[in-house]
Structures are given as C-alpha cells and as structure tokens.
C-alpha cells in the first residue's frame, strides 16, 4: 500500500475509521455493554424473586449490570473523541466481576 497515491491511502483510512467507529465502537462496544448490563439487571431481578438462588446473587447482578450499562457511555456524546476516563477504568474491572458473578450463578444452579 506504500506505492498507492496519497489520495487513495487517505480514502482507505477514512473508510476504515468510519467502519471502526460505527461497527466497533457504536455497535460492538456501546450496544454490547448496554445489552449485557440490561440482561444482568433483569436476571438479577428474576433471581431476587426466585428461590433457586440466594437473593445476594440477584443483588450482585443488578449492581454489576447497572455498572456495565454505565460503562456503555464511554464514547457517547461529548466523550466520543477521547472517551470517558471513569468508564474506561471501570469497564475491565466490571467485566471480570461480571464473569465471576456468572460463574457463581452457574455453580449455584448446578448444586
């Protein structure tokens, strides 16, 4: 690609950046975090109303889900160019906690 004219290289870069922002950030990250968080909140509410698992697991699901939904705002609005630092810090930690919560729910349901 180094032999391509500068205009072509710039056009390829614009297309790549556009698809990356739309599919990678908007669809992948924003909607992925938002729907994972919403599902976790709803699953937590269902767990609180059920006797199959301890209510504490439901409460943890609601909290973790709400934080995941909050993390979906990392590149929304005025944060779009550089990202929201709080969400960028919370997202990896929250996903580890969310994964541990999923494992705990699975273990409790199997026992």
Cβ atoms of residues 48 and 58 within 8 Å: yes
Q: What is the pLDDT of residues 22-75, one digit of tens each?
A: 776 667 777 888 999 999 999 999 999 999 999 999 999 999 999 999 888 776
Distance CA 57, CA 103 (A): 11
> What whole-number distance in Å separates Cα of residue 75 and Cα of residue 36?
17
Integer Cα distance of 13 and 44 in angstroms:
43
- pTM, whole model, 2 decimals? 0.74
Average pLDDT taken over every residue of the chain: 85
């Amino acid at each position: 690609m180094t032999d391509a004219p500068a205009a072509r290289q710039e056009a390829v870069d614009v297309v790549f950046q556009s698809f990356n922002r739309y599919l990678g950030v908007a669809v992948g990250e924003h909607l992925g975090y938002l729907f994972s968080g919403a599902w976790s909140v709803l699953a937590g509410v269902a767990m609180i109303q059920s006797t199959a698992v301890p209510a504490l697991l439901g409460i943890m699901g609601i909290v973790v889900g709400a934080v995941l939904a909050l993390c979906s705002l990392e590149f929304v609005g005025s944060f779009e160019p550089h990202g929201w630092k709080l969400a960028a810090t919370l997202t990896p930690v929250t996903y580890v906690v969310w994964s541990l919560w999923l494992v705990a729910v699975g273990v409790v349901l199997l026992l």
